[in-house]
Amino acid sequence: MSLAPRDCRAGAGASYDGGVSNGTVLLAEPRGYCAGVDRAVVAVERALEHFDETVYVRHEIVHNKFVVDRLREQGAVFVDEVDEVPEGALVIFSAHGISPKVREMAEQRSLRTIDATCPLVTKVHKEAVRFAREDYDILLVGHEGHEEVEGTAGEAPEHIQVVNSPDDAVNVTVRDPDKVVWLSQTTLSVDETMETVDRLRERFPTLQAPPSDDICYATQNRQVAIKKIAPDADLVLVVGSPNSSNSVRLMEVALEAGAKSSHRIDSVAELREEWFEGVGTVGVTSGASVPDVLVQDLLVELSARGFGDVKPVRTATEDLMFSLPRELRQEMKVRGASDDRTKPTGERATAES
Ligand code: 2E7
Ligand code: F3S
């Protein structure tokens, strides 16, 4: 089965006008797969299809258990580090990005690599490299230990310090308070990040901002949609894995925006009876790494529990599609394999869930 996003079957129908009734589901649109996840997952699928050898993947290609389990069943071998990959073998780097050190280690082992780093993460890496070259102190707002943060910080470790939260702003020390810039992880809460930046700016009034938003379009759009739903929801269910930063943020944002309760679930099997006590309206969304089939399963289950009236709540339309990683396109060309996805990066195509 392909892990490509599905048509939003339950998404068709009346639009939400602010009114709610018993047994209602407010379904966030957009939700689920972003362009970077689609590209990364399809890259692994195509590699499995076209290479007659073991396809290794460093780290989870995206942070979703269902996706990773399916790709593993199809033959992908997931490893924590490149030193687990045999010399000369093929390895795919995950959507979250890698530090230059990982790239060097792969070169030392003569690995053939396909880089599925999201282009919007690469953009942040380039910003980090440029500001480091200009000798700025870079304050990277993000969660220490997350793969994306490790990759970005690894671009210029001597210039970058990670700021984990608004409270963490007090711990920052810089060489020159007039030469400081903030960058961020792509999947943070927009509001919490702005709070962190405000605190940093109190300390460093000339703090520079990233040249363009580092929190990506998909993260922002999913947060805007759930914020619209949350004030009317007794319960917000977010489909996503526990290690998926953007999914966990959606749950927090829902609560912050007025949802009476919110839970993250990997799948319908994790629903708990007690969550539904006194609930008339359920908000539903999913993280950027979540195939829509999991949301459809949830809607079927909600319908069986009396929540059959599904009202889509659309706050944005997404039609971004990234071309597959260059190394993969080249390899497929050599093999005469055609790929109708290979459109130039940033070209608009219909890719809505
Ligand atoms: C890559 C990047 O895989 P995810 O759940 O990752 P997060 O970063 O949210 O844990 O979601 C897709 C994705 C988001 N950001 C992939 Cl850098
Ligand atoms: Fe990229 Fe944002 Fe998705 S950084 S992988 S488009 S959540």
| 3-state secondary structure (DSSP) of residue 230 | helix
User: Residue 291: is its pLDDT beyond 70?
Assistant: yes
The burial of 51, by beta-carbon neighbours within 10 Å (0-12 exposed, 13-18 middle, 19 or more buried), is given as: middle
Closest CA to 271 of 298, 290, 247, 295: 298
Is 45 catalytic? The answer is: no
Q: Which of 148, 150, 155, 318 is catalytic?
A: 148
Spatial distance between the Cα atoms of 40 and 34, rounded to a whole number of angstroms: 10
CA of 38 to the centre of ligand 2 (A): 9
List pLDDT tens digits, range 78-114: 999 999 999 999 999 999 999 999 999 999 999 999 9
Residue 2 pLDDT level (bands cut at 50, 70, 90): very low
Closest CA to 139 of 121, 162, 155, 173: 162
Cβ proximity of 94 and 55 under 8 Å: no
User: Residue 245: is its pLDDT beyond 60?
Assistant: yes
Mean pLDDT computed over every residue of the chain = 92
CA of 143 to the centre of ligand 1 (A): 12
List pLDDT tens digits, range 29-76: 999 999 999 999 999 999 999 999 999 999 999 999 999 999 999 999
Spatial distance between the Cα atoms of 311 and 18, rounded to a whole number of angstroms: 10
Q: Is omega for the bond preceding 30 within 30 degrees of 0, making it cis?
A: yes
Residue 17 pLDDT level (bands cut at 50, 70, 90): low
Cβ proximity of 43 and 92 under 8 Å: yes
In three state form, how does the secondary structure of 31-87 look? CCCCHHHHHHHHHHHHHHHHCCCCEEEECCCCCCHHHHHHHHHCCCEEECCHHHCCC
List pLDDT tens digits, range 265-289: 999 999 999 999 999 999 999 999 9
CA of 35 to the centre of ligand 2 (A): 7
189 CB less than 6 Å from ligand 1? no
46 CB less than 6 Å from ligand 1? no
Q: Residue 25: phi, psi to the nearest 5?
A: -115, 125
